[in-house]
Amino acid sequence: MQTAWAATVAVDKCAAVDALIPCYLSLTDSEELALAKAPSCAQIGRPERPICVPPADLPQRRAVDSAGRAALLHAIAHIEFNAINLALDAAWRFHALGALFVRDWIGVAIEEAYHFSLVTEQMRALGVNYGDLPAHAGLWKLAEETADDVLARMALVPRLMEARGLDAMPPIFRGFQGIGDKPSLRALSVIARDEIRHVALGDQWFRSLCAQQNLSVAETYRGLIKRYQAPWPRPPLNEAARLAAGFDAAELAVLKAQ
Ligand SMILES: [Fe+2]
Ligand SMILES: [Fe+2]
């Protein structure tokens, strides 16, 4: 896991994550407790390219032509690459929560690496490699800010940012459907299916941490979004996916009204 966390080349990181597949489900508490303390979030391995720029400096990406399609796929690949790092970082940094926690987030990292490979394969067919285009600079900010608080990390990374990803899926699907790009649609359908489970894992761990500390789930969640000045869920929410991931209707109604 440490090798994957530190890898700075995307293909090396994915290979190191794939190397965890045969063993991660048999990880026990005694093994995971032998992990050293995770280094600072700032040291996580990432490639020199793509060049990361503020989101306002990125061009609008719509799948209307092959350049737009490649740009949109590149943006998704960047999200998936960061998602590999986010899952590895959660598994290592908060390993004191036990082997079940570590297995859950290594499992997510394995799926994120698969998503990255699915998306980059579609990009390559359009002549673009990961790193060729500029990318969103802000995806790692919440990880750094929540490095000492697993309750906030679970709330703001899987339960907020990955859930916002569920909301973004329907229009992206419609865009690729509109241009008849079936291979990209197939890749995205695998991603959408898995992402519901990633949000569900974040929801389950957040709920269990709230229960341990006698905290209200919905109020604590909204309080953390405000405290960290994180982006609110943006309507229209993908209610079916969010309900499948563990949100309840009452909390969704409050989030829609924010
Ligand atoms: Fe993903
Ligand atoms: Fe994910």
Quote the ligand 2 centre to 112 CA distance (angstroms): 6
The three-class DSSP label of residue 102 is helix
For 84, 107, 174, the CA distances from 26, given in Å and listed in that order, are 20, 12, 40
Rounded Cα distance, 115 and 188, in Å: 8
Nearest to 96 by CA among 26, 150, 20, 21: 150
Please name the residue that has the structure tokens 């339960």: 159
Quote the ligand 1 centre to 214 CA distance (angstroms): 31
Rounded Cα distance, 50 and 44, in Å: 15
The three-class DSSP label of residue 188 is helix
Domain ranges of the chain: 2-21+61-257
Quote the ligand 2 centre to 246 CA distance (angstroms): 15
Quote the ligand 1 centre to 115 CA distance (angstroms): 5
Quote the ligand 2 centre to 181 CA distance (angstroms): 23
Prediction pTM value: 0.95
The three-class DSSP label of residue 179 is coil
Per-residue pLDDT of the chain (258 residues; tens, 9 = 90+): 999 999 999 999 999 999 999 989 988 887 656 788 999 999 999 999 998 888 888 877 776 788 889 999 999 999 999 999 999 999 999 999 999 999 999 999 999 999 999 999 999 999 999 999 989 888 899 999 999 999 999 999 999 999 999 999 999 999 899 888 999 999 999 999 999 999 999 999 999 999 999 999 999 999 999 999 999 999 999 999 999 999 999 999 999 988
Quote the ligand 1 centre to 114 CA distance (angstroms): 8
The fold for domain 2-21+61-257 equals: Ferritin (1.20.1260)
